[in-house]
Amino acid sequence: MSDVTCADRFARVARTAADTIAVRHDAASLTYRALAGQAGALARRLRERGVRHGDVVATVLDRSPLAVIAMLGSWAVGAAYAHIDADEPDSRIAEALSVTEARVVLTDRGNARRVPGSLVLDKLPAAPYEPVAGRSSSDVAYLAFTSGSTGTRQAVLVEHGSVRNYVTALGERIGSMPDTYASTTTFAADLGNTSVFGALLTGGTLDIIDAETVLDPTAFAARLRRYPAGMVKCTPSQLETLLNADEPTLPTDVLIVGGEAFPPHLARSVLAARPDLAVFNHYGPTETTIGVLMHRVTEADLDRATVPIGRPLAGVDIAVLDESGLPVAAGESGELHIGGRATARGYAGGDEFTSMRFAEGIDGRHYASGDLVRHNEQGDIEFLGRLDRQLKVGGLRIEPAEVENVLLAQRGIRQAVVTGEPADTDRPTELVAYLVGLVECTGLLRRLRRALPASHVPSRIHHVARIPVTRNGKTNFTALRKLAARKPAAAARRPDTGTERLVADVWCEVLRHVEIDVRVRFDDLGGDQAKARTVLGKLRGHFPTLTIAQLSAHPTVAELAAALDRDDVAEPGSTSVVRL
């Protein structure tokens, strides 16, 4: 029998690789037999709850194998799944649930109170994994959220046939599928589905690595030494974490980089450390099933201005078109249009938005990416930027207007402009806000964290007297940046002790502040996960046993310095982690 959906393919893999480890999370693991039994038991519970073919099952789960069990159980009853990041504020979770129109919401014990009436997942008695009849490759496999310019996120509907095509084409492009895959990103983002589907639909092992470990260069490298991964897919920022470890450790076979532009200097560092490693740059909007272009990085790429995003995977059609919808000449820039088996069905409940981005063309249905690209002399696609204001920060798509809408809803803010800027040369893009009005920055950031996911909270906020515009009425960003001046607060407490001065100097360097109040939290100063990794690396030269969890537990210069002076920073795992 042929594999009609991903559920069929998993069922076949679970039979042929029954005793192979399917999922590992720290020291715990599940074989394919055990995983199929848990997913079969969940499918039975879902049917008892009335979930049927064509429904949606949403999840609000901490990072664990439960997300995989939820995915497989949903597929078995013919439903699609929608992972919603448990780190998001409750208001955002409620908004996402309303978009999915989920029949059932699955939670774990830690998140059950946040979603009243949810089905709490726990260990279930094993049951056969038997996908229901009547399913089709055109059924929706999952919903993935993207940022929306209207202030409301859109949920992309991705079909089983598109997922199956992606896994097959990925294997063809990289040569052969590895045995083990590291999962380093949230299950709610489709970037990590390369590892999830790559492992579970081919009989490999999915190694789920906690976010705190991924953030810590030493812990991340140690994890990969303890459990070597054949494939790692990560963002450039995560890759930099690996390379900054005292003993850098990379995957054994394949490294795939995606989500952000791949800087040539970073590619050079990887190839210098591991010339034998197959390194790929991977590109693809959520609307085209994880990834559609891939490029194997070579020595020739290291002296380019940018690493190419490559050529289409099998089953993918692309065209580079001008503003009139006509193909551009070789070497000229245009908008990338994507068609073929990778193209998603559209947006959930959003016929208007679907018709804006998806259209029927001469060669069939295609998605207008909004990305400006060109073919280089070798025939590879190079990414040049966006046609609109959409940003890619930390591997996630962000519409500035979505953040601006939340800012303008705050009392005292009259105007708001959000953009993306690198903190320094060769550094990743980060979110920056320019505000006109009277508002206290620390309180504003705390309110934003209650209304937006961490990825959408600006790393830097500048107060300006006005928003300058060009002659055609658009924001003049050059003039705007000149207006922005950093002034330390008059009542700020300066560092007193030697340790406070050391920590403050590192924070000033990383956060690009002239001075820092030692009582203000790291995240209130514009800190984020990437900056926390950099701070950790610099402080470890003085305090070798410092960990990311300890840095998180002492979020101000004063608290961290006092703990370091007492030599009583918390042992790893003994303190709750506050996400930076």
Q: Is the pLDDT of residue 529 over 80?
A: no
Please tell me the number of Cα atoms within 13 Å of 159 on its side-chain side: 16
Mean pLDDT of 359-368: 81
538 or 197: which carries more pLDDT confidence? 197
At residue 510, the pLDDT reads: 84
CATH code of 1-136, in short, is 3.40.50.980
Please answer whether residues 132 and 125 qualify as being in contact, where contact means their C-beta atoms are separated by less than 8 angstroms.
no
Confidence of residue 152 (pLDDT cuts 50, 70, 90): low
Q: With 60 as the cut, is the pLDDT of residue 365 above it?
A: yes
552-563 pLDDT, tens digit per residue, is 888 899 989 988
Which residues make Cβ contacts (< 8 Å) with residue 174, sequence separation at least 6? 254, 278, 280
- Average pLDDT of span 264-283: 94
With a cut of 90, say whether residue 163 has pLDDT above it: yes
Q: Please say if the pLDDT value at position 236 is more than 70.
A: yes
Place of tokens 């953030």: 215
Decide the pairing of beta strands 205-208 and 180-183: parallel
Confidence of residue 362 (pLDDT cuts 50, 70, 90): low
User: In this predicted structure, what is the pLDDT of residue 117?
Assistant: 94
| pLDDT single digits (tens) 479-504 | 888 888 544 444 568 888 889 889 99
The H-or-E segment that residue 93 falls in is helix 90-100
Residue 72 DSSP one-character state:
H
- Return the closest-CA partner of residue 504 out of 485, 526, 519: 519
Q: What residues contact residue 210 under an 8 Å CB cut-off, 6+ apart?
A: 26, 63
Match domain 399-483 to its CATH number in 3.40.50.720, 3.40.50.10790, 3.30.300.30, 3.40.630.30: 3.30.300.30
For the chain, which residues make up each domain, given as ranges?
1-136, 399-483, 498-566
What per-residue confidence (pLDDT) applies to 489? 47
Taking a C-beta distance cutoff of 8 angstroms, is the pair 416, 404 a contact? Answer: yes
Q: Please name the residue ranges forming H helices in 281-358.
A: 351-357
Please give the pLDDT value at position 542: 86
**Is residue 27 over pLDDT 70?**
yes
Q: Per-residue pLDDT for 578 more than 50?
A: no
Fold classification of 498-566 (topology level): 1.10.1200
Q: What is the pLDDT of residues 378-408, one digit of tens each?
A: 999 999 888 887 787 877 878 887 888 788 8
DSSP per-residue letters across 34-54: HHHHHHHHHHHHHHHTT--TT
State residue 278's pLDDT score: 97
Of the listed ranges 257-266, 325-334, 421-430, the one predicted with least confidence? 421-430
Does the reported pTM lie above 0.75? yes
Quote the distance between the C-alpha of residue 577 and its chain's center.
20
Question: What are the pLDDT digits (tens) for 216-235?
Answer: 888 899 999 999 999 999 98
Element (H, E) at 468: none
